[in-house]
Structure 1
Amino acid sequence: MSKHTWVRYFTPGPVHRKLGLVCLGVGLQYGDLPDVGPRTLDHHVAVVVSSGRGWFRGGGGPVLDVVAPALLWLVPGAVHHYGPDPATGWDEAFVDFTGSAVAAYTELGYVQPERPVVPLSDATGPRTVVTRIARAARRGNPMLEVETSAAVHDLLVALRRARADMAPDGDPVLPALARDAFLPLSVAEHAARHGMTTAELRSAVRRAAGCSPKDYLLGIRLGRAKELLAATELPIAAVARRVGYDDPAYFSRLFTRRVGVAPVRFRDQQGRTAPGGWSDRPPEPGDPPVAEDAPRAPGAGGPG
């Protein structure tokens, strides 16, 4: 069986490393490829196997079957040894990356050092991002490091969406929580509404969104509060009630602590004065306007 290998490696400078994630290399390989390792690395690698099968062994652990589509996580300092089945070979794409942002992606569950082999539902999305990195890797590209850095972020999102053990948008409980986010309910009451214990809800939200139910709900509430502050003239107390807080003083303290400025100050910074005042019914977040529906500025002409 023939084999094919295309690989590029990069050495980002100190300024590019401040981006938080940097790409160190990209490769596209298929066929009867040689085994890799045993070895250790000082950076992360995501290996996407889109066809074929093979095996993986980490450290002194058991040999794990790899059946495409699948993801292999290679993490710094961990011994790994893997390769395709000689009878079938496999088609793989890999991206080497590092940076300070990896810790946050790991905490959020996008990078899973404890799961070296992750089944995927479909490798198309991740492979599309890897192809973007490969195209950006042309020699002489002045934006090489920035383009590939941005693509690593996209790759981690694509890999999260492609995981076979989760729906692309996370656990079904998330849309239900978002729908009920503005009700004055405790986390325990939210759990009861979904027939779950508090621990089960915490586990589901942590697995799907990488945060606690409290933080997930708070993000939705404060996001909507910002929209109301910027696009309406509703009093602060009314904004607080609309996003689930009966006590406007508590809402103001919470908003200030999390956002960094008080609600009144946020409105001063983000709001715009409109003749006759703003409507108190801004567009709903789930129904955004599209470009062709945007109102024209007075006197704006159409295409010639």
Structure 2
Amino acid sequence: MYHTWMRYFTPSPVHHRLGLVCLGVGLQYGALPPVGPRTLDHHVAMVICSGGGWYRLPDGRRLTITAPALVWLLPGVSHEYGPDPDTGWDEAFVDFTGPATTTYTELGYIEPDRPVVPLGDSAPARAVVTRIARAARVGNPLLEVETGAAVHELLVALRRSRADLAPDGDPVLEALARDAYLPLSVAEHAARLGMTPTELRTAVRRGSGCSPKDYLLSIRLGRAKELLAATELPVAAVARRVGYDDPAYFSRLFTRRVGLAPVRFREQQARAVPGGWSQEIPDPDDPPMLRPAEGHEVREAGVR
């Protein structure tokens, strides 16, 4: 015995230009019948929350699925799968497509070589699927945009829930971020971590989807932007603080990656905030604000 609920959508060409669109969503559980062999023209992320079963590769090999797990169904790839006929499984799936799938694959969020991916926890992904299911109500005017945005969120949730990655942060990435402003080469970073450059590149690409050089550069430029926007430090001082002894090289690199020269970025983004600024992550329930000076009231907008 099994139970199933599903809905399918047909987003317009305009919605496809958003990069990702949701084509369908479903929730099923029990001793579901096996599927395939079949070939799809789009992606499906299938989250197995409990139970187990099998997945058959195009070459005939059979993989065991044990919850919690993610099963990728990829366009153009023949596949077969099914739950254990005695125990069944609890399944949530999302069908999606769009040009952004190429980038997500390049970044390692979608893994063509790993059709079955163990998850540490299926709850975050299941929560996103549930939101997609709720958005699928008849007459929802935001359906295509709401569900498309949720597909992005689903890919992030699945990436974070992979059993081979630490949910609270990757130690290698944390170490690189800590030392990002030191004037070190990739080989020197690797040596500090007791790794070869090849091992470091593999670890960083698995954890972040990019090379160590790009990962370090993104941290340095992000910090440089903060200093340019929130302080009056000269550009040369900003360059030194983020690891570049040559201000001219820093300016060329910043301009090439950001699209604006550091001085021009500062003109657009500078914030003169009395009381300074902080690197602490704010509490969403207690956003940063100026405290009223003694003897003065702070009135809310629109309140007389």
CA 263–292 in structure 1, closer or farther in 2 if over 3 Å, else same: closer
- The separation in 2 between residues aligned to 1:237 and 1:19, in whole angstroms, is 39
- Residue 24 of structure 2 corresponds to 25
- The separation in 2 between residues aligned to 1:239 and 1:60, in whole angstroms, is 55
Q: Is the 8 A contact 1:229 1:266 kept in 2?
A: yes
Stretch of structure 1 that moved more, 110-119 or 168-177? 168-177
- Residue 299 of structure 2 corresponds to 301
- Residue 92 of structure 1 corresponds to 91
- Residue 256 of structure 1 corresponds to 255
- The separation in 2 between residues aligned to 1:89 and 1:173, in whole angstroms, is 38
Amino acid at match of 1:111: I
Please, which runs of 5 or more residues in structure 2 have no aligned partner? none
- The separation in 1 between residues aligned to 2:35 and 2:211, in whole angstroms, is 38
- The separation in 2 between residues aligned to 1:260 and 1:157, in whole angstroms, is 27
- The separation in 2 between residues aligned to 1:53 and 1:148, in whole angstroms, is 28
Over aligned residues, Cα RMSD in angstroms? 1.8
TM-score normalised by structure 2 residue count = 0.94
Please, which runs of 5 or more residues in structure 1 have no aligned partner? none
CA 289–10 in structure 1, closer or farther in 2 if over 3 Å, else same: closer
- Residue 83 of structure 1 corresponds to 82
Q: Is the 8 A contact 2:136 2:143 kept in 1?
A: yes
**Post-superposition shift, 1:170?**
4.7
- Residue 189 of structure 1 corresponds to 188
**Post-superposition shift, 1:58?**
2.0
CA 168–239 in structure 1, closer or farther in 2 if over 3 Å, else same: same
Q: Which runs of 4+ in 1 moved over 6 A?
A: none
- The separation in 2 between residues aligned to 1:292 and 1:267, in whole angstroms, is 24
TM-score normalised by structure 1 residue count = 0.94
Out of 275, 279, 283, the position equivalent to 2:278 is 283
Amino acid at match of 1:133: I
Alignment partner of 1:138: what SS? coil
Q: List aligned pairs for 1:235-254, cutoff 5 A.
A: 235-254=234-253
Alignment partner of 2:266: what SS? helix
Residues 1:66 and 2:65 are matched in the alignment: yes
Cα distance per residue 1:45-70 (max 9 Å; x no partner): 00101111111002123011111111
Q: Is the 8 A contact 2:135 2:143 kept in 1?
A: yes
- The separation in 1 between residues aligned to 2:258 and 2:52, in whole angstroms, is 48
The number of aligned residues is: 298
Q: List aligned pairs for 1:118-267, cutoff 5 A.
A: 118-267=117-266
**Post-superposition shift, 1:301?**
2.6
Amino acid at match of 1:174: L
CA 292–46 in structure 1, closer or farther in 2 if over 3 Å, else same: closer
Amino acid at match of 2:200: L
